[in-house]
Amino acid sequence: MKHCFATRGLQVAALLLFFFMAALPLHAEDKYEPLPGEGKKVAIGTDYSFVYKFAQKPALGISILKIEVADKDGKKDSSLKITADSGMPSMPGHHDSGEVEFKKNKEGDYVTPVDVVMPGGWAVKLVFRKDDKVLYRGIISFDI
């Protein structure tokens, strides 16, 4: 009988710990700012800005995401490191790409493939870094 109460006590403690951890607020570094639609300028602090667009409307299969970064003077800049992590928020871990670094094309734009494997809601989490310091986090959401 004592063993049953001890086991039940551990289960209750684990459940309380789970709810406590789930209620904790996210750290600022974990937050992703929802991005406006394609082609709209987004500021990265005071030193940079960017515009994103897909080569064609996302659909099943691979869609190419392109980002153009500009410095505070409006000149194209390719000195940042940008990563993307795409997936379905409703199915975390099942179709996630993992963090993938954007490549630079010959025009100095950042490009990466986004592999959409099934209909539903999708998100692409973007992280912009300079000298290994995170400057900005944003998220693109879309439905197929």
Secondary structure (3-state) at 40: coil
Both tokens of 22, joined, read 């789930």
Domains and CATH numbers, the chain: 28-143 (2.60.40.10)
pLDDT, tens digit, for every residue of 66-118?
A: 999 999 999 999 999 999 999 999 988 787 888 999 999 999 999 999 999 99
Which DSSP string do the residues of 73-98 spell out, in sequence order? TS-B---SEEEEEEE-TTSTTTS---
For the whole model, what pTM was predicted? 0.77
pLDDT of residue 30: 73
pLDDT, tens digit, for every residue of 48-69?
A: 999 999 999 999 999 999 999 9
Using the structure block, give the residue that is written with the tokens 């039940």: 8
* Start-end of H helices in the chain: 2-23
